[in-house]
Structure 1
Amino acid sequence: MREKWAFLENTPQDAAINMALDEALLHWHQKGEIPPTLRFYRWNKPTLSIGYFQKVDGKIDLQGIKKHQCQLVRRMTGGSAVLHDDELTYSIVISEEHEKVASSIRQAYYDLSKGIVRAYQLLGIEVDHAHEPSSKGRSNICFEQPAFYELVANGKKISGNAQIRKRGILLQHGSIPLSMKVEMLFDLFQFPADQMKERKKQRFYERATTINAELGEKPSYERVRNAFQQGFSEVLNIELEPITLTEEQWKEVYQIAESNYSEKSIKGAVSHV
């Protein structure tokens, strides 16, 4: 018998709301108010999300953020910066005690990512796990190099994922790009010289890919969304039941957004990192 999970899919939202909703889901599951939950979401403006411990000063080009009218938000998870634009973003909240959650972070990544692997297969894209980390050290840009158990297609990174465990609950979220505006992406970072920026940009094209690039066509968002919903359902052996947030739940999300993810809070974070 399939376990029943909640499924939440909301319209494209502001960056602060998107991050606050992930945090709220973690809190609600910890309090037993919702079952394990899979969420799909999108962004109403291009957004650069930076890892919780990632430096901003000397790394992120705030003029580039302004130039491209991007939003900037600091995630509750770690890792490198991700440009969210033409993509499907997912999140999963589930108890650390759940039988599907391994105690090892790497193994949990691997197990939960099997649904993503299946989704790519349904779209006609063969992917594999990157079992060996890069020897070049951490990059400021997420898709520049894969980490353990992240997914690659034809040797190029095709999805980025991050995970946090808090109050006994695991939250994993990830970026599934349909396409990627590489020129915009590199305008959002600082480089010592233009020549270095161009070299790194060219290497990026060799190391990162997207759904559109691998298929050689532009599938509809609905086709991609359906594949990922089916992929998670099949591999995790779950039945997804759509939920709708109550007015009180939305109020809580807005409060979290204002206190933890608003433009004011980001400016404060930028000035202290």
Structure 2
Amino acid sequence: MNDATNRSAWTDFNWRLLHPAPLSPLQHVALDQVLLDEVAAGRRAPTLRIWEWGAPAVVIGIFQSLKNEVDAQAAQAHGIQVVRRISGGGAMFIEPGNAITYSIYAPLSLVDGMSFRDAYAYMDDFVLQALGDLGIKARYQPLNDITSDGGKIGGAAQARRGGAVLHHVTMAYDIDAVKMLQVLRIGREKLSDKGTTSAAKRVDPLRSQTGLPREAIIARMLETFRQRNGLRDDTLTAEELAQAERLIREKFGTPEWQSKVP
């Protein structure tokens, strides 16, 4: 425990790794709530979860307007499901194999006394180190972007409840900029005067910056986390998966939740 505050150190915890087979977009957002609540209740050790995507999706933040962010007709035409998560932040355009997404679930004591700005950077420091080891001079751009000289790499979001913190990040490994601009309205407005080539530059995928397979980048991230904090492989419990399915039926899969902010 840090003497200056009530803040915990990363190494105070027995970290667990979840890296299951691909799941549906609705399972992913439901599991974020389930695992945050389980860590808050002390039933699960602090956990790092790597997301594998079973289908394309747009994931919007809890405070975002559905119609302002997403062209529903274009999303449907491309077979892209739109889901809403419990954390803030911006819209994420996801295709399987083209993104690196992870969540950290930890006691709030890990970021005790920190501003949101400092907490974001603190939670992602291991990723900046891992990217640096791969030759990418990545840095944090407040409030919640990971970027480099090549362009934006990814964005973070957080949610805090019940004495626990959820820290969620999606980084672009590869990206179909044309499709992204068809589906995301906000991106289209920001980039309309610059053309599609600028869209590709604004979100610069890790594939072009490293030349490495996606799996190699994830492996470096996990090794960095393990060396710094310790990390033991784990699996989702039957109860956690059942809770996620219940939340999909009652919350995340409902039109009311999707249109929480119309």
TM-score, normalised with respect to structure 1: 0.83
Query: Is residue 2:162 matched to residue 1:167?
Result: yes
Supply the distance in 2 between the matched residues of 1:47 and 1:233 (Cα, whole angstroms): 30
- 1:27 correspondence with 2:43: no
Q: What secondary structure, in the 3-state scheme, does the structure 2 residue paired with 1:43 have?
A: coil
Alignment of 1:6-155 (within 5 A): 6-85=16-95, 86-98=98-110, 101-130=112-141, 147-148=142-143, 150-154=145-149
CA distance in 1, matches of 2:18, 2:147: 27
Deviation at 1:172, TM superposition (A): 0.5
- Residues of 1 paired with 2:99 and 2:237: CA distance? 26
| Unaligned segments of structure 2, at least 5 residues | 1-10
Residue 214 of structure 2, aligned match among 176, 199, 221: 221
Q: What is the match of residue 259 of structure 1?
A: 250
Distance 1:16 1:54 in 2: 17
Going from structure 1 to structure 2, the CA distance change for 1:72 and 1:149 (only over 3 Å counts) comes to closer
Q: Identify if the C-alpha distance between structure 1 residues 211 and 189 changes in structure 2 by more than 3 Å, giving closer, same or farther.
A: closer
Change (3 A) 1:208 1:83: same
Q: Is the 8 A contact 2:172 2:203 kept in 1?
A: no
Corresponding residue pairs, total: 249
TM, length-normalised to structure 2: 0.86
TM-superposed deviation, 1:114: 0.6
Give the match's secondary structure for 2:192. helix
- Work out whether residues 38 and 93 of structure 1, in 8 Å CA contact, stay in contact via their aligned partners in 2: yes
**Counterpart in the other structure of 1:187:** 182
Q: Cα distance, 1:181 vs. partner?
A: 1.0
Q: Residues 115 and 233 of structure 1 are in contact (CA less than 8 Å); yes or no, is this contact kept in structure 2?
A: no
Q: Shift of the alpha carbon at 1:189?
A: 3.0
- Partner amino acid for 1:260? K
Two-structure CA RMSD over aligned residues (Å) = 2.4
Separation in structure 1 between the aligned mates of residue 177 and residue 255 of structure 2, nearest angstrom:
24
Contact 1:117–1:231 at 8 Å: present in 2 too? no
Structure 1 counterpart of 2:235, which letter? T
CA displacement at 1:88 relative to structure 2: 1.6
Amino acid at match of 2:184: F
